[in-house]
Structure 1
Amino acid sequence: MASLLQRRGAGALLALLAGALTTLTFAPFNLWGLGPVALAAFYVALQNIGLRQALWRGWLAGVGLFGSGASWVYVSIHDYGNTGGVLAAALTILFIVVMALFIMLPALLYRFCAASRLDIPAFAGAWALSEAFRSWAFTGFPWLFLGSAHVDSPLAALAPLGGVYLVSLVVALSGALLARALLSRRWRLFAPLAALWLIPLTLPTQWARPTDDELTVSLVQGDLAQLSKWTPDGQRDAVNTYFRLTRQHGLDSDLVIWPETALPMLEQQAMPLLQRVQSTLPADSTLMTGIMQRDQRGTFYNSMIALGDQPGQYRKEHLVPFGEYLPLESLLGGVLRIFNIPMGNIGAGSDDQAPLRAGGLRLGVAICYEIVYPDLVRQRAENANALVTISNDTWFGHSIGPLQHMQMAQLRALENNRYLLRATNNGMTAIVGPNGHILARAPRFEPAVLNGTIQPMEGLTPFTRTGSWPALLLALIMLLGGGILRTRHRDSNAP
C-alpha cells in the first residue's frame, strides 16, 4: 500500500478525500462516525513519505476540509458583500488556500515524531495542538474542529470534562488506531479503540445542577432582508416587525431577546423605541437586544444591551477580521479599496465584562462569531448561570454555515452545562439545554417568536474550571513522547 500511495498519487487523493470526508461529520450531515474514518485516511496518507510530501498532503487535506466545509464564504462575500461573482470566487479560493496551510502543521509535527512506537498518540497530539493553534493564530478561525461534531455521539461526556480539544484528541487517536490496526493487521488494537468510545458512556455529562427557579423566555426572529435592512424603509420595517412580534408573543415572558443588530440604527436613535417596548412588558421583565453603539470618541461597538430594572451592556470582544475590522490596515486598506471590497472598522470590548442580568439569570454573552471560541465562552460561563448568544446568520444565506454555527453553540452549552439561548435574525434561533441538545427551535427564514422555559444552573464543569489547558497538555505530552522516542532511536543507530 505504501508503494501505491507514493507512486500513483493515491496518497494525495486520499489526503484530499480525508479532508472532504470530515465535513460530513458536522451539521447538517451529522455523520460523526466518519470522524475516525477521515482521520484514519489522513494517517495512512502520511505513512512512509518525506517531509515535503507530508506538507503537500497536509495542505491537500486542508483544501478538502475547507473547500467543502467552508463553502459558505462565497455566499457571504458575493450575495451580501456587494462583490462580483468572479472576485468573490477568487477570494473564496484564496481563503481556502490560506486556511489549508493550517492542516500542514499536524502533518509536519507528526512526521517529526513518526517512526516510533508512540507514533499513534503523536498523531493525535499533533492534530489537537494544531486545532488550538488555528483558534489563536491571526485572531483564530476555530471552525470545523473535529470535536464539534460530537454533541450527540458517545464521546459527548468528554466535552464538559476537557472541552472540544479533548474530544478532537480522542477522535484523532481513534483514527490512528483504526488505520494502524488495518494496515498491520494488529487486531488487538481494536480493544483500546473500543475503550475510547465505551468509557465515555460511563462518565457523567452533567456536572452542574439546576436551581428551583424557572424563567420564561421569548426569542424574537424578525427575518429581515439583509440588503435593504439599513435603508430608511428597512429601518421602519425592522421597528414594526419586532414591535409586532413582541406584542403578540412576548408580553408574558420574564426575558425577551432580540438578535444581533435587530434594529438597524445606533443605540441613541433606538433607545426611545426600546424603552417604549420595555414599558409594555411586566414590571419584572427584561428586554435584551443587539445594537450598534458609538462612544464619545466616535468608535462603534457591536453590542448587546439589557433594559428593565437591571440595565447593562456587553460589547463584542472578539471581532471578525475583514468583517468588523481590518488587520494590517496600512498595508491592505488601499488594496481592498481598489477592488471595492467592503470593510468594517469596529472597536472591541474589554475582556472583563460582567454578565447581563435578568431576574435570577446571570447571562454570559457571546455575539455571533464569539460562540465558536471555547475558552472565551468558558470565561463567560464561569460567572454566569446561563448563556446567551445573538447572531445575524443572514450573511450565510441558505448555506450549511448557520447549521455548523448552531452545532458549535450546542457544544458550548454542553462544555459548560448551561442553558443557552440563541436569537438570530432568520435562524437558527433555538433554546439549548445544558446537555447540548436543542430543546426548541424556531422555523428558519420566517418571522417567529420562540417561547420556552429555562433554569439557572449552579456549579461548574471541570472544563469551566480549568479551560482547555489540561487537554492541550495531554496532547503535548503525547506528541513529545513520540518525538523523544524517535530522537533516541535515531541517536542510538547513529554511527
Structure 2
Amino acid sequence: MTDSPQPPGLSWLHITALVLAGGLQTLTFSPFNWWWLGPVSIAVIALICLPLAPRLLFRAGWLVGVGLFGSGVSWVYVSISEYGNTSIPVSIILTTIFVTGLALFHGLAFWAWGKLASDSKARRLLLLPAIWVLGDWVRSWLLTGFPWLYLGTGQVDGPLAGYAPVVGVQGLTFWIVISGAVIAACYPLLQSKRYKPVAALLLAGLIPWITGPSLNNTQWTTLGETPLTISAMQGNVPQQIKWDPDFLKDQIVTYLGLTEDDWNRDLILWPETAIPIPQDQAGKVIDYIRTELGSGSTLITGIPWYGFSDELEDFTYRNSIMAIGNGSGLYQKQKLVPFGEYVPLEQWLRGLIGFFNLPMSSFSRGPGNQPPLSVGDHRVMPFICYEVAYPDFVAFSARNTNLLITISNDGWFGHSLGPLQHLQIARMRALETGRFMLRGTNNGITAIIDHKGQITETIPQFTRDTLRGEVYPVSGNTPFMESGSWPALTLAAILIVFVRKRTIPPIA
C-alpha cells in the first residue's frame, strides 16, 4: 500500500511570496490607490495556502500580516523615534514588536481557517472570506482595537464604492476576498482546460464590480438646499513645540491670526488641541473668541478637558472638542490611542523610555452615547483623530445628524504614509454615511469631503493656511448606518456554521 502524498511545507519561496502578498495590500491604499491589487493579493495567498497542512496556516497568516503591517503601518517608527525621544535601536525594536504583534491577528485567523476547513481545498476557498472578515472585526475591538488597513478602504475610488453605503467597509472586504478566492479556484480549472466552470465563476465574481459604479448615482441621503460656509485653519505647529509651555500662547495667537478674516463664516474649525491648555484655564481665550464671532457663526475647536469624572470618581484629563458661539456642546474622545493618549500597564511602563512618557498621554476615555454638537439648527457629530477609523462607531454615532467633523494632529507621523491613509479612512466614513465631512488637522491634510467620499477642497500638508468652502447639511440614514457591519459578519458566521468540517461521532 502506498502512502498518500504529504502536503508541502513552507519553503523560503513560500515565505517570501506570503510576505510580498501581504505587502501588495498596502498598495491598494493611499497614496498608491491600486485597488485592483486586493483580489490579486488574496489569490496569491490562497494558492500558496491551499496545499499547506493545517498546522502551517498560523505561520502563513502571520507572514501575510508581517507583510501588510510591516509595509503599511511601520510609520509608527516616526512617532516613537522622532517625537518619543527614543534611541534608534529601541525604536526599531518597538516598531518590530508592534508590527509582528499585529500580524498575530492574521496568524490566529488562519489557524482558525485550518481548524475549520481541515485539508479540504473547497472548504478553504469557501471559508476564506468569512475568516478574513471576522479576523478584521476582532482586530477592531480586541485590546482597544486597531481598525486600520481594511481591504475595503481602498475601494473609496474603486468600482465597489457604490456598495459602501449599503454594506460598509467590511462588506466590501468580504467581496474582495471572494474575488481573490474565485481567481484561485479558476487556476486549477484552467490547468485542466475546464473553461466553462471558469467562465461561470468569473462571471459571478465580476457582478458586483460591474454593477457597483451604477450605484454611485443612488442618493441614500438628502442634501439640504442651503449650504453652510466653512473655514478650517491648519496651523502647522511643529510637533516638537506642541506641548512646550513657552510656545502655548504662540499657538493660540497663530489660530486667532488665521481666523482674522473668517469670524462671520457659519462654521469655523480648529484642529485637535488647537487650544493646548485645559478648558478650565482657557476662559479668557474662549471669551475672546465669543466676542469676535459673528452672530450666526460657530467655532469648533479641539481643547483638553479637565474636571471631575463621575465614572472614575476622580479628576481627570480628556481629549475633547467644543463648540463656541452660535452653537453648543462638548464631546470627549472615546477611542483612545494606546501610548499616545494613555499608557497600557502604566504602573510598569511609565518612565522606562521617552516613548512611554509622551506629553498628554494620561487622558481618560469619554463616556458613551454622547450627543452631537450643535451648529445653529444643525446637529454635527464630531470624531477626534483615531475614532474615525471605527466604521460601526462612526455609522451609529452619526445617525440622525446633519454633518460629520473630524479633527486630528497627524504631526506625530511626519512625511510617512500614516496621514494619507488617515484621510482615505475619513473619506470611506463619509461615503458609508452619505454625509459631508469636514476634516481639520494641525499640519495636513485638512479637507472638505462630500457625501460620496470625494475631496472638494484641501490644503497641502505642512503648510499654514485657511481652507474655505461650503458643506451641505444632510438628512436621512444610509442602509449601513441602520445595520452596521452585522450583515457581513452574520453571513461570515453562517458560512462557518454550514461549511466547516464537522466530525459526527459514531452511533453506539
TM-score of the aligned structures, taking structure 1 as reference length: 0.94
Please provide the CA RMSD for this pair. Answer: 2.0
Given candidates 223, 236, 240, the residue that maps to 1:223 is: 236
Structure 2 unaligned residues grouped into runs of 5+: 191-196, 309-313
Question: Which amino acid is 2:65 matched to?
Answer: G
Checking the alignment, whether the CA contact within 8 Å between 1:80 and 1:395 is kept in structure 2 is yes
1:165 aligns with 2:179: no
Per the TM alignment, residue 196 of structure 1 is displaced from its structure 2 partner at its CA by 3.1
1:241 to 230, 254, 272: 254
Q: Deviations over 1:143-184 (max 9, x none)?
A: 111111110111012211011100000001101101111233
Match of 2:155 in 1: 150
Greater mean deviation of Cα atoms: 274-283 or 94-103:
274-283
Q: Identical aligned pairs, as a percentage?
A: 41
Higher alpha-carbon deviation: 448-457 or 198-207: 198-207
Structure 1 partner of 2:71 = 68
Is the partner of 2:159 in helix, strand or coil?
A: coil
Q: Which residue of 2 aligns with 1:24?
A: 27
> Are the equivalent residues in 1 in contact too, given 2:222–2:474 (CA < 8 A)?
yes
Partner of 1:282: 294
Counterparts in 2 of 1:49-448, with a 5 A limit? 49-114=52-117, 115=120, 117-185=122-190, 186-188=197-199, 189-204=201-216, 205-248=218-261, 250-296=262-308, 297-329=314-346, 333-343=347-357, 344-448=361-465
Residue 156 of structure 2 aligns to a residue whose secondary structure is: coil
8 Å CA contact 1:4–1:10 kept in 2: the answer is no
State the Cα distance separating 1:50 from its structure 2 match: 1.6
Conserved in 1, the CA contact under 8 Å of 2:231 and 2:469? yes
* Structure 1 residue 466, shift from structure 2 partner: 1.3
SS in 2 for 1:473: helix
Matching of residue 480 in structure 1 with residue 497 in structure 2: yes
CA shift in 2, pair 1:127/1:434, >3 Å: same
Partner of 1:449: 466
Determine if the alignment matches structure 1 residue 40 to structure 2 residue 43.
yes
| Match in the other structure for 1:14 | 17
Deviation for aligned residue 1:118: 4.5
Task: Work out the CA distance in 2 between the residues paired with 1:432 and 1:338.
Answer: 41
Which amino acid in structure 1 is aligned with residue 52 of structure 2? I
> 1:478 Cα deviation (Å)?
2.2
Once the two structures are TM-superposed, the CA of residue 479 in structure 1 deviates from its matched residue by: 2.8
CA shift digits 1:376-417 (9 cap, x unpaired): 111221031110000000011110000000000000000000
Deviations 1:220-279 (A, max 9, x none): 11000111122233212212210110003x223101010000022111232311321232
2:55–2:114: 8 Å Cα contact kept in structure 1? no
Q: Tell me, yes or no, if the aligned pair for 1:432 and 1:440 is still in contact at 8 Å.
A: yes
Deviation at 1:318, TM superposition (A): 1.1
How many residue pairs match? The answer is: 485
Residue by residue over 1:171-213, the C-alpha shift from the partner in whole angstroms, topping out at 9 and shown as x without a partner, is 0110110111123325222111211311323435530010112
Paired amino acid for 2:502: T
Query: Cα distance, 1:5 vs. partner?
Result: 6.4
Tell me, in whole angstroms, the C-alpha distance in 1 between the residues paired with 2:287 and 2:401.
26
| CA positional deviation for 1:280 | 1.6
TM-score (norm 2): 0.91
Gaps of 5+ in 1: none
> Distance between the aligned counterparts of 1:281 and 1:59, measured in 2?
54
Say if 1:147 and 1:166, in contact at 8 Å, map to a contact too. Answer: yes
Give 1:7 deviation, angstroms.
6.5
| Cα distance change of structure 1 residues 361 and 215 upon mapping to structure 2, 3 Å threshold | same
